Structure formats: C-alpha cells, structure tokens
Structure 1
Amino acid sequence: MPPRYRYEQIADDLAKRIASGEFPPGSKLPSRRELIERYEVTEPVIDRAMQVLRIKGMTETLPGVGVFVAE
C-alpha cells in the first residue's frame, strides 16, 4: 500500500470521529487552530483535509462561523 498524505490521514480520522458520533450532525468541528495543534501540521494541510470532508458531503462551511457536520 502506498504511503498516504497527511491530509488524507487527518480527513480519515475526522470522518471516523464523525461516524462514531463524537461529532454529531449539526455540531461544529474544532477550529483550524485547534486542529493544527492537535495534528501538529500546517494550515494548508488542515485546509486540504477540510476540503476532502466537504467534497464527500460530510461537512458544511459557513464563512466566518466555522465548519459543521452535515445534517
């Protein structure tokens, strides 16, 4: 199996946490800064992981408010 990019690992981890109910539908995900600190990565890595979740339809972004789990 080829190595995976860090953003893919983070997106998978967050997707599992959403699926497990840790972040139920309608809940707000941790802030970008909190995710950067938790995963020890740079801002572009978190942005890419958030993009993956948004493309999969798992999250919705409200500019200036945050990222929420899709209903």
Structure 2
Amino acid sequence: MPPRYRYEEIADDLRKRIEVGEFPPGSRLPSRRELTAYYDVTEPVIDRAMQILRVLGVTETLAGVGVFVRDAPGEA
C-alpha cells in the first residue's frame, strides 16, 4: 500500500470523528487555526483535508462563517 498524504489522514480522522458523533450534523467544525494546531500541520494541509470532506459530501462551507457537518454525511 502506498504511503498516504497527511491531508488524507486528517480527512479520514475528521470523518471518523463526525461518524461517532463528536461533530453532529449541523455543527461547525473547528476553525482552520484550531485544526492546524490540533494536527500540527500548515493551513494548506487543512485546506486539502476540508476539500476532501466537501467533495465526499460530508461537510459544506459557508463563506465567512465556517465549515459545517451536513445533515446526511456522505450523501450528496
């Protein structure tokens, strides 16, 4: 199995945290600054992880407001 990029690992971790209810549907995810500190990575890494979650239909972004867990994670 090829090595995984850190942003893929972070996206998987956030998705699992959403699935177990740490971030329930409708809740706002921590800010980019909080996530960079939590995962000890740069902002572009968090941006890529957020992009994966958005493409998977797990989250939605409201400009200037934040990133929120969709009501039906995984369903677009």
Common topology (TM > 0.5): yes
TM-score using structure 1 length: 0.99
**Number of the residue aligned with 1:66:** 66
The secondary structure found in structure 2 opposite 1:16 is helix
CA RMSD of superposed structures (Å): 0.4
TM-score using structure 2 length: 0.92
Shift of 1:49: 0.1
Can you give the 5+ residue segments of structure 1 that lack an aligned partner in the other structure? none
Where relative contact order (Cα < 8 A, 6+ residues apart) is larger, the structure is 1
1:35 maps to 2:39: no
Can you give the 5+ residue segments of structure 2 that lack an aligned partner in the other structure? 72-76
**Number of the residue aligned with 1:8:** 8
Deviations 1:7-43 (A, max 9, x none): 0000000000000011000000000000000000000
What one-letter code is carried by the residue in structure 2 that aligns with 1:31?
S
Shift of 1:67: 0.2
Q: Aligned residues: percent identity?
A: 77
